[in-house]
């Protein structure tokens, strides 16, 4: 795949699809009288080639299944609108047949009885040579069954401007204390701020904030998935570091408090931030849009705090909804996507946006020949989810979707609350969420 052009990738995908015969999901002649379409909601990948290839695979699947193009609805849904639109569709009783789900949203929707059981498909994936990263399973399991199909395990490295570090004659910082001092040396506000930390009322803020708090010994919930520990001294210590970065050291752009999930991407891509913690959607974007910036971008582990350096992973998954009038087709589409030959084309076409769940796919030159990816396998194996020290659960999904942690950090940065007070309010709200799910 390395070195292939966009046209060659798409052409090879079509050839691969054409050689598959007699799939189990093929429908009978009665499909000509279909009352409803097979509906797939696509969330953009930040890489146009991957988006185009995803669309092509949907229609190639439909062709193999004996469907006409008119029997398929392929809808593009912007990421920041996806949760609101999906919630409204579920409430109205017409969710998509298949879409992509983030982290603990699989458990969140499974707990409401909305998702199809896809345990058989995931078992098949685990039987592939070398298997899959077991860390990918934590976000799709609900009551011992896989209710989603893991698409990608995404480490959240620090995208770092290596050229600015070199110009300032400093190394990449090993600790958060060093990070602050290094940031002061390389930034030149208001044109360039050092740290593009997302602080808006969005999911990326939960990720960015919790990733730093872990390094100070903080966490949201214990491993028992019951005991909420947001109001801890360790979390307070981490929040105070973020507060100092924003208010005292001024290494975070003031506008970060109003960013959406693409805010940190845009800040780095436009050279307005030197460091961001984000999956490699940024790196993948640069691969197709700014090779010069990509060449001076390092993908680095997070700096260490008093409790070490803890890296985040997130897991995206495909989910199929029970409301589908065609459950076999919905599951067939998922299996088609995850056949390694089809799947690897999507993964590589993202230019690093998605990290494969199949371990053996890391053996390809695409991953081995780029120094920027050298930390990825370790991150994929040892990283933790945003619900750490707990695992992804329906309760964790609600915390993520209702932005309780972003609201907490904005209490400190915008409303000037003390860290302990903001954490106590947040703690109580999270306790209410977890207690509600515990009551069942």
Over the stretch 99-130, which tens digit does the pLDDT of each residue have? 999 888 899 999 999 999 999 999 999 999 99
- The pLDDT assigned to 190 comes to 95
- The pLDDT assigned to 21 comes to 46
pLDDT band at 27 (very low <50, low <70, confident <90, very high): low
DSSP state of 357: S
- The pLDDT assigned to 19 comes to 40
pLDDT band at 403 (very low <50, low <70, confident <90, very high): very high
pLDDT band at 219 (very low <50, low <70, confident <90, very high): very high
Q: How many residues does the chain have?
A: 440
pLDDT band at 285 (very low <50, low <70, confident <90, very high): confident
- The pLDDT assigned to 236 comes to 98
Q: How many CA atoms lie within 13 A of 415 on its CB side?
A: 12
Percent of the chain with pLDDT over 70: 91
State the SS3 of 166-228. Answer: HHCCCCCCCEHHHHHHHHHHHCECCCEEEECCCCCCCHHHHHHHHHHHHHCCCCCECCCCCCE
Of 47 and 208, more confident: 208
Q: Rounded mean pLDDT of the chain?
A: 89
All domains in the chain, ordered by first residue: 6-155+314-382 (3.40.190.10), 158-310+402-439 (3.40.190.10)
- The pLDDT assigned to 32 comes to 43
Beta bridge partners of 195: 275
CA distance readout (Å), 254 to 83, 209, 231, 249, 324: 27, 16, 26, 12, 45
Q: Residue 119 and residue 124: Cα distance in Å, rounded?
A: 9
Cα angle, residue 75 at apex, residues 49 and 200 outer, rounded to 5°: 80
Highest mean pLDDT among 76-90, 102-116, 266-280: 266-280
How many of the other CB atoms lie within 10 Å of CB of 137?
20
pLDDT band at 33 (very low <50, low <70, confident <90, very high): very low
Over the stretch 4-23, which tens digit does the pLDDT of each residue have? 454 554 454 444 444 444 56
Mean pLDDT (whole number) for 62-69:
92
Over the stretch 37-47, which tens digit does the pLDDT of each residue have? 999 999 987 67
Q: Residue 366 and residue 280: Cα distance in Å, rounded?
A: 14
On the question of pLDDT at 2 being above 70, the answer is no
DSSP state of 248: I
- The pLDDT assigned to 74 comes to 96
Which backbone phi and psi does 141 adopt, to 5 degrees? -90, 135
How many of the other CB atoms lie within 10 Å of CB of 312?
23
Over the stretch 290-304, which tens digit does the pLDDT of each residue have? 999 999 999 999 999
Over the stretch 299-336, which tens digit does the pLDDT of each residue have? 999 999 999 999 998 889 999 999 999 999 999 999 99
CB 75 within 8 A of CB 42: yes
The candidate with the shortest Cα–Cα distance to 370, out of 309, 255, 258, 284, is 284
Q: Residue 256 and residue 272: Cα distance in Å, rounded?
A: 12
- The pLDDT assigned to 134 comes to 81
CB 427 within 8 A of CB 419: no
- The pLDDT assigned to 29 comes to 44
Of 88 and 440, more confident: 88
Mean pLDDT (whole number) for 360-387:
84
């Amino acid at each position: 795949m390395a070195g292939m052009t966009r046209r060659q990738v798409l052409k090879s995908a079509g050839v691969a699809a054409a050689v598959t015969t007699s799939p189990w999901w093929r429908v009978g002649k009665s499909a000509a009288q279909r009352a409803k379409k097979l509906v797939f909601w696509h969330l953009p990948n930040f890489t146009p080639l991957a988006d185009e290839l995803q669309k092509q695979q949907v229609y190639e699947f439909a062709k193999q299944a004996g469907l006409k193009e008119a029997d398929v609805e392929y809808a593009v849904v912007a990421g920041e609108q996806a949760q609101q639109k999906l919630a409204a569709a579920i409430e109205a009783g017409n969710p998509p047949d298949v879409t992509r789900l983030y982290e603990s949203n699989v458990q969140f929707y499974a707990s409401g009885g909305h998702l199809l059981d896809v345990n058989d498909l995931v078992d098949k994936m685990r039987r592939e040579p070398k298997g899959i990263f077991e860390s990918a399973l934590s976000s799709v399991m609900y009551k011992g069954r896989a209710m989603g199909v893991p698409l990608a395990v995404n480490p959240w490295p620090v995208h770092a401007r290596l050229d600015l570090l070199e110009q300032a004659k400093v190394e990449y910082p090993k600790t958060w204390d060093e990070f602050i001092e290094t940031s002061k040396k390389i930034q030149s506000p208001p044109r360039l701020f050092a740290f593009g930390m997302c602080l808006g009322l969005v999911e990326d803020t939960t990720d960015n904030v919790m990733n730093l708090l872990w390094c100070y010994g903080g966490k949201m919930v214990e491993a028992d998935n019951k005991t909420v520990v947001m109001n801890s001294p360790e979390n307070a210590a981490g929040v105070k570091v973020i507060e100092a970065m924003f208010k005292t050291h001024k290494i975070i752009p003031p506008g970060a408090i109003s960013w959406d999930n693409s805010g940190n991407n845009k800040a780095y891509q436009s050279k307005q931030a030197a460091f961001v913690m984000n999956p490699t959607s940024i790196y993948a974007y640069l691969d197709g849009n700014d090779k010069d910036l990509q060449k001076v971008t390092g993908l680095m582990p997070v700096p260490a705090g008093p409790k070490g350096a803890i890296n985040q992973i997130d897991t995206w998954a495909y989910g199929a909804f029970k409301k589908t009038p065609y459950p076999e087709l919905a599951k067939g589409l998922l299996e088609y996507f995850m056949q390694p030959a089809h799947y690897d084309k999507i993964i590589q076409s993202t230019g690093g946006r998605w990290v494969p769940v199949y371990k053996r796919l890391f053996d390809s030159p695409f991953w081995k020949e780029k120094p920027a990816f050298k930390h990825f396998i370790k991150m994929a194996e040892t990283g933790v989810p945003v619900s750490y020290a707990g695992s992804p659960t329906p309760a964790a999904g609600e915390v993520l979707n209702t932005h309780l942690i972003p609201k907490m950090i904005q209490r400190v940065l915008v409303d000037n609350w003390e860290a302990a007070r903001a954490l106590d309010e947040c703690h109580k709200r999270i306790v209410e969420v977890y207690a509600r799910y515990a009551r069942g």
